[in-house]
């Protein structure tokens, strides 16, 4: 079992274990040693970050740990997470690091790792790195210490790659787009890319101060953007999260559409064009049952994985699929990117509007979702509420109640100390009662 790594790297509150400068230094040294197993040769790592104040602290600590083992560090500055995957490959680096807690508040931070192929590390690799952290790492001899250098054009390189994913000749002239960048990593790149393609951009969340990332804005809080779409008479809204690896769309009426609707749209378009490999979409167990039924009606298959875009990508690579994602808005288009890319997915939605001439409200209502309810129960680290006998008994009863009518999914978050209780059922009264009972049992076990 991994102790430090969750579903998306190491994450926590800044200056509280494990997200301390000391631990970041140790992590940097361990991961540097892991990827620099043989002496000699040139070994390099790229590091990107979002706009959190603590990013400076972790950037310096990781750089110290990595250079102490002989790794040369290339500092990208504030860039989206998918840019790190791209730059790791394009710069022939041994390792990519993204300092971000994604959609979490500014007080949190995290460290995500990408291998030389630009994809996130496997569970096995993370276990081996944890073993190195615990054992300690012998530093390199003085003459082999690595150096650090800043790369000034990373966001421009990324922007060009995102634009190149669109069909040749596509322009966004005439489209008014509300773009919420969550005061995060894409606050400069995303507006520039849309403007360069011809869109009229109404920017929101583009003034980061180190403390306001995801604060009242972004993909987890799209209400402000929805209001702006209506107020400005915009055609569509795009809401990114703090590191821009996920997106939530808003139609011209201010209605919010999640990742399931966007994946349904892209899967259908790609299938008709003959470019959807395996006639399948890869999504997690959280995706709505309505999406699965919609795809089946088109002769397409839904491949489900555990929660986490890393597991979606692993299944895509194993099965040769090229489209996947999460209800939360991670959309992975592996023909163009190695991880979820919110800006890229948003651009492909805009391209669909241009090519079809249809409004966002039509394109983002691909299916009627089965009623779904999610409740989060916070617990103290070290507790194991799901192992409590009363909780397990309530869960068994709930599963029996929903059998043949819906489904129940209960899991521990891999990024926060939360138990997520989710259910789907056509009977909304039964749905509400079931989720409430299970959540109450879990809450009692945390007291």
CA distances from 129 to 1, 52, 69, 74 (A): 13, 25, 14, 21
Q: What is the pLDDT of residues 100-111, one digit of tens each?
A: 999 999 999 999
* Residue ending a domain, choose from 301, 330, 363: 363
> Beta strands of 326-434 (E only): which ranges?
331-333, 372-378, 406-412, 418-425
Same domain, 400 and 321: no
pTM of the model as a whole: 0.91
Asked if 263 and 250 sit in the same domain, the reply is no
Q: Residue 38's pLDDT is what?
A: 59
Which of 256, 287, 309 terminates a domain? The answer is 256
Cβ distance 57 to 14 under 8 Å? yes
pLDDT at 382: 80
Is residue 5, in this structure, part of any structural domain at all? Answer: no
Find the catalytic residue in 54, 68, 102, 328: 102
Q: Is residue 282 part of a domain?
A: yes
Q: Which of 26-40, 169-183, 382-396 has the lowest mean pLDDT?
A: 26-40
Question: How many separate domains does the chain show?
Answer: 4
What is the average pLDDT value for the chain, to the nearest integer? 95
- What are the respective helix, strand and coil percentages of the chain, to the nearest 5? 40, 20, 40
Distance CA 407, CA 421 (A): 11
Q: What range does the domain containing 417 cover?
A: 372-446
Residue 114 — pLDDT band, cuts 50, 70, 90?
Answer: very high
Are the C-beta atoms of residues 97 and 46 closer than 8 Å to each other?
yes
Whole-angstrom distance, CA of residue 283 vs CA of residue 412: 18
Contact, 280 vs 319, CB < 8 A?
yes
102 as an active site residue: the answer is yes
Q: Within this chain, do residues 230 and 245 fall inside the same structural domain, yes or no?
A: yes
Same domain, 379 and 433: yes
In a domain, 159, yes or no: no
115 with 206, same domain: the answer is: no
Q: Which of 241, 256, 271 is the last residue of a domain?
A: 256
Residue 8 pLDDT: 85
The answer to whether residue 243 sits within a structural domain is yes
| Same domain flag for 144 and 203 | no
The CATH number that applies at residue 376 is: 3.30.310.50
Q: Are 304 and 320 a contacting pair, CB within 8 Å? A: no
Are 24 and 106 part of one and the same domain? Answer: yes
Instruction: Mark whether 185 and 211 lie in a shared domain.
Output: yes
What is the residue-wise DSSP string for 172-215? -TT-EEEEE-TTSTTTTHHHHHHHHTT-EEEEES----SS-TTS
Whether residues 73 and 112 share a domain: the answer is yes
Q: What CATH number corresponds to the domain at position 335?
A: 3.40.120.10
CA–CA distance, 295 with 275 (Å, rounded to integer): 15
Question: 136: buried, middle or exposed (CB in 10 Å: 19+, 13-18, 0-12)?
Answer: exposed
Task: Tell me, yes or no, whether 66 and 135 share the same domain.
Answer: yes
Q: How far apart are the C-alpha atoms of 394 and 392, rounded to whole Å?
A: 5
Q: Is residue 160 part of a domain?
A: no
- The pLDDT value given to residue 284: 96
pLDDT per residue over 345-386, tens digit each? 999 999 999 999 999 999 999 999 999 999 999 998 788 899
Q: Quick check: is 3 in a domain?
A: no
Q: What is the pLDDT at residue 42? A: 80
Q: Helices 342-356 and 189-196 sit at what angle, rounded to 10 degrees?
A: 20
pLDDT in tens, 30-50: 999 999 865 567 899 999 999
Q: How far is CA 117 from CA 59, 95, 154, 254, 391, in A?
A: 22, 9, 18, 39, 42
Contact between 216 and 201 (Cβ < 8 Å): no
Do 31 and 142 share a structural domain? yes
């Amino acid at each position: 079992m991994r102790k430090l790594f969750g579903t998306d790297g190491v994450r926590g509150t800044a200056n509280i274990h494990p997200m301390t400068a000391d631990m970041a230094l140790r992590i940097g040294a361990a991961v540097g040693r892991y990827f620099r197993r043989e002496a000699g040769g040139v070994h390099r790592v790229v590091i990107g970050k979002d706009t959190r104040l603590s990013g400076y602290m972790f950037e310096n600590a990781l750089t110290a740990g990595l250079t102490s083992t002989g790794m040369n560090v290339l500092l990208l500055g504030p860039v989206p997470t998918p840019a790190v995957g791209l730059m790791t490959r394009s710069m022939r680096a041994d390792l990519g690091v993204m300092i971000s807690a994604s959609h979490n508040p500014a007080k949190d931070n995290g460290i995500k790792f990408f291998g030389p192929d630009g994809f996130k590390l496997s569970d096995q690799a993370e276990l081996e790195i944890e073993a190195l952290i615990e054992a300690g790492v012998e530093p390199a001899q003085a003459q082999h210490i690595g150096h650090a250098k800043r790369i000034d054009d990373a966001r421009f390189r990324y922007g060009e790659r995102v634009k190149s994913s669109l069909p040749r000749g596509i322009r966004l002239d005439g489209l008014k787009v509300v773009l919420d960048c969550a005061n995060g990593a894409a606050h400069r790149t995303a507006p520039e890319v849309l403007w360069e393609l011809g869109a009229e951009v109404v920017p929101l969340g583009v003034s980061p101060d180190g403390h306001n990332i995801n604060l009242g804005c972004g993909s987890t809080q799209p209400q402000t953007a929805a209001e702006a779409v209506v107020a400005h008479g915009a055609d569509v809204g795009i809401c990114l999260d703090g590191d821009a690896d996920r997106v939530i769309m808003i139609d011209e009426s201010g209605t919010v559409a999640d990742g399931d609707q966007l994946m349904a749209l892209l899967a259908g378009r790609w299938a008709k064009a003959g470019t959807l490999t395996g006639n399948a979409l890869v999504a997690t167990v959280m995706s709505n049952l309505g999406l699965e039924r919609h795809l089946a009606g088109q002769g397409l298959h839904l491949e489900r994985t555990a929660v986490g875009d890393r597991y979606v990508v692993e299944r895509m690579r194993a099965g040769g699929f090229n489209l996947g994602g999460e209800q939360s808005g991670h959309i992975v288009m592996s023909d163009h990117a190695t991880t979820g890319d919110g800006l890229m997915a948003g651009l492909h939605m805009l391209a669909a509007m241009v090519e079809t001439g249809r409004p966002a409200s039509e394109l983002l209502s691909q299916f009627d979702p089965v009623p779904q309810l999610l409740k989060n129960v916070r617990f103290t680290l070290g507790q194991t509420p799901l192992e409590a006998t009363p909780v397990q008994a309530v869960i068994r009863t709930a599963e029996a109640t929903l059998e043949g009518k819906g489904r129940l999914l209960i899991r521990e978050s891999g990024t926060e100390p939360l138990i997520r209780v989710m259910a789907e059922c056509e009977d909304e009264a039964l749905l509400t009662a079931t989720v409430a009972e299970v959540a109450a049992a879990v809450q009692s076990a945390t007291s």
